[in-house]
Structure 1
Amino acid sequence: MAYKRKCFEGYEEVSVSIESRVISKDLQSSARDKVKETLTDFRKLYAKLLQEHEGNKSYSARNITQKTLEVAAKRFEKLHKCVNVSKRLGQVPGVEVGDQFRFRAELYVIGLHRSMQSGIHYMQKDWKTYAISIVDSQRYDNVMDNSMDELTYMGHGGNPAVKSVKPRDQKLEGGNLALKNSMEAKTPVRVIRKTSNNLYTYLGLYLVIGMVQERGKYGKLVFKFSLKRTPQPTNIDSRNVIRQKRDVVSNIEALQVKK
């Protein structure tokens, strides 16, 4: 089934279809190798920096991990070692449905979700913003059905469970506005979900098919976006693939700092 809409990459308007994202095996293999190489190098840098930082008693174990990941990502960026850095709609070269990642920073360095903090990443075109990717970190009351084909994604802002802030009405701005615009333009959004084993799994492309505003559990107005998975460009059963533990760099053993 063809999916064809006007989409945007950088500041040029381009036409994208699912079929056009299917590239030759040689090009796909090359992109895949590049993603694996990038992740391997990033994990080595992270392990090295973690060993240097672990003596810092001013940080808790969790804070050391997060701080080290942020430093590693910034250094990677400065060294121009990140890949797929251009904002794009649709699939990311070298990344497949079901791929899993250990850290959110890994999504950043390979271009799957180019935001270290925000759950909604978006781009701008002609004074409008469009959602590129979202991360369901399960800090909000998002709901994924068992088939993984449908997702109810809560808008961002005013959630005391995420930040120490007072509950407030969510506004139609930033990522919320970008998701609304994506719904109207019918442009695809990449969905990544943090699973119970604390890995980030790439679920594929979804379309925003609905949006409502209602009172949330804190009594404030929140946005709820309904997303539905698009037909996959291959014949694989993505639900089975997603449920399998599949680290992208499967031949690299877990990098642990030895004391």
Structure 2
Amino acid sequence: MEFSTVKRVHHYARDFPPGCGSNSPKTNQKPSEKPAESEKIPGFCSNSTAWRRSVPAVRSKPPIDDGVAVKIPQNVKGKALPGLGFDAFTERSAGDRKKEKVDEMKKSQNISRERGKVLEMVELFRKRCKEISMSGRGIRRINTVACAELRKEGKISNQSTLMIGAVPGVEVGDKFHYRVELAFVGLHKHYERDIDTMEWGGGRLATCIVASERHLDKMNDPNALVYIGEGGVLRRNKTGKPPDQELKGGNKALWNNKEENKPVRVVRGLTLDRRYGQKILYVYDGLYEVQTCIKKKGPSGNMIYEFQLTRCAGQPAVPWQSCRRYQF
């Protein structure tokens, strides 16, 4: 039997060229093709057939989403990641960020709560002082009586003054009418002494001082203060030369602040002249650093300690001109 190389499709006949058609030899070989220079993959030889037709994408920095935690292998933490072109990420999970936000919220709530407590106590105290003054009871020291009554009723309580630095709830520039107010808000616990102290490392540190224009303290500079130490005052009904001040008690504590580099709270007492006489306004001026302490002869001929303090940076300024015009 002989087969013709003529293939019939329907009623047509078609002759194929030699080597083509259905009877041509089969082959699995692909046509050799060389990739273009721009399509070669780096790292392969020039005659390699492994190549890609798409242009390789330019590597860029992966986007950092603050809400997505980026996981970094343990062995590359703290090192530069190859191929990224910037330092390694600092791993911080979403739970950590949520905890930080909660802590900040609680802190702000605590500050608001302490601030509200201070304002409420001061308002109640001044209202009670006004009631006692208008009652005609003939009480001389209205402030101490009002404070004792409110403390007995449980409406105010002395906050602790045994701390170095700012007092929660008290802001720079707050104004106070009496020394009693300084005590129950936690600034200064003494009604008469001008240096408040606390125990610290076997000694004592000064927590707060009350400067006054009547005690030769130099208060002209809003960012500096020259404070005269305590002591060296004649007792009542005595005349002559005052005794020398000694480096003990509050003076020693304030000296220790300079040695330990610890700040001290400063309250400035402004003497305001009014029609009915002089009135002292106490203004919280913030934190100060004790720079130097000099022992020198005072105006009365006795030896005194002169402390030079500078205001700590980063605190709001106090409007002293408006404080001078303050109305009780």
Q: Structure 1 length normalisation: TM-score?
A: 0.73
Native 8 Å contact 1:84 1:93 kept in 2: no
Distance (whole Å) between structure 2 residues aligned to residue 196 and residue 178 of structure 1: 27
Q: Which position in structure 1 is the counterpart of 2:322?
A: 244
Distance (whole Å) between structure 1 residues aligned to residue 152 and residue 250 of structure 2: 26
Is residue 47 from structure 1 mapped to residue 130 from structure 2 by the alignment?
Answer: yes
1:43-192 matches, cutoff 5 A: 43-51=126-134, 54-55=137-138, 64=140, 67-78=141-152, 81-146=156-221, 148-160=222-234, 164-166=237-239, 167-192=242-267
SS of 2:271's equivalent in the other structure is coil
Q: Which position in structure 2 is the counterpart of 1:15?
A: none
Structure 1: where are the runs of 5+ without partners?
Answer: 1-22, 57-63, 247-252, 255-259
- Cα shift at 1:107: 0.8
Letter in 2 for 1:68: I
Pick the aligned partner of 2:109 from 26, 34, 50: 26
Q: Which position in structure 1 is the counterpart of 2:58?
A: none
- Cα shift at 1:113: 1.2
Cα distance change of structure 1 residues 223 and 38 upon mapping to structure 2, 3 Å threshold? same
Is residue 226 from structure 1 mapped to residue 275 from structure 2 by the alignment?
Answer: no
RMSD: 2.7
- Cα shift at 1:32: 1.2
Cα distance change of structure 1 residues 158 and 75 upon mapping to structure 2, 3 Å threshold? farther
- Cα shift at 1:52: 5.3
SS of 1:199's equivalent in the other structure is strand
- Cα shift at 1:86: 4.5
Q: Which position in structure 1 is the counterpart of 2:299?
A: 217
- Cα shift at 1:227: 0.6
- Cα shift at 1:139: 2.3
Q: Which position in structure 2 is the counterpart of 1:203?
A: 285
Distance (whole Å) between structure 2 residues aligned to residue 225 and residue 96 of structure 1: 24
Native 8 Å contact 2:161 2:187 kept in 1: no
Deviation digits for residues 55-109 of structure 1, max 9, x if unmatched?
A: 36xxxxxxx1xx2222333444555522422411100111111111112211111
- Cα shift at 1:140: 1.1
SS of 1:36's equivalent in the other structure is helix
Distance (whole Å) between structure 2 residues aligned to residue 52 and residue 232 of structure 1: 45
The runs of at least 4 consecutive aligned structure 1 residues that moved more than 6 Å come to: none
Distance (whole Å) between structure 2 residues aligned to residue 100 and residue 164 of structure 1: 34
Distance (whole Å) between structure 2 residues aligned to residue 38 and residue 244 of structure 1: 24
Deviation digits for residues 116-173 of structure 1, max 9, x if unmatched?
A: 1101101012330100001112221111233x1110000111224x955551001111
Native 8 Å contact 2:213 2:219 kept in 1: no
Distance (whole Å) between structure 2 residues aligned to residue 111 and residue 104 of structure 1: 11
Distance (whole Å) between structure 2 residues aligned to residue 24 and residue 242 of structure 1: 30
Letter in 2 for 1:180: W
SS of 2:284's equivalent in the other structure is strand
Cα distance change of structure 1 residues 34 and 164 upon mapping to structure 2, 3 Å threshold? farther
Structure 2: where are the runs of 5+ without partners?
Answer: 1-105, 273-279
Distance (whole Å) between structure 1 residues aligned to residue 237 and residue 196 of structure 2: 22
- Higher-Rg member (1/2): 2
Cα distance change of structure 1 residues 183 and 30 upon mapping to structure 2, 3 Å threshold? same
Letter in 2 for 1:82: S
Larger CA deviation: 175-184 vs 24-33: 24-33
SS of 1:94's equivalent in the other structure is coil
- How many residue pairs get matched? 213
Native 8 Å contact 1:84 1:92 kept in 2: no
* Relative contact order higher in (CA < 8 Å, ≥ 6 apart): 1
Distance (whole Å) between structure 2 residues aligned to residue 164 and residue 228 of structure 1: 37
Cα distance change of structure 1 residues 227 and 53 upon mapping to structure 2, 3 Å threshold? farther
Q: Which position in structure 2 is the counterpart of 1:10?
A: none
Identity, % of aligned positions? 33
Cα distance change of structure 1 residues 93 and 138 upon mapping to structure 2, 3 Å threshold? same
Distance (whole Å) between structure 1 residues aligned to residue 113 and residue 144 of structure 2: 28
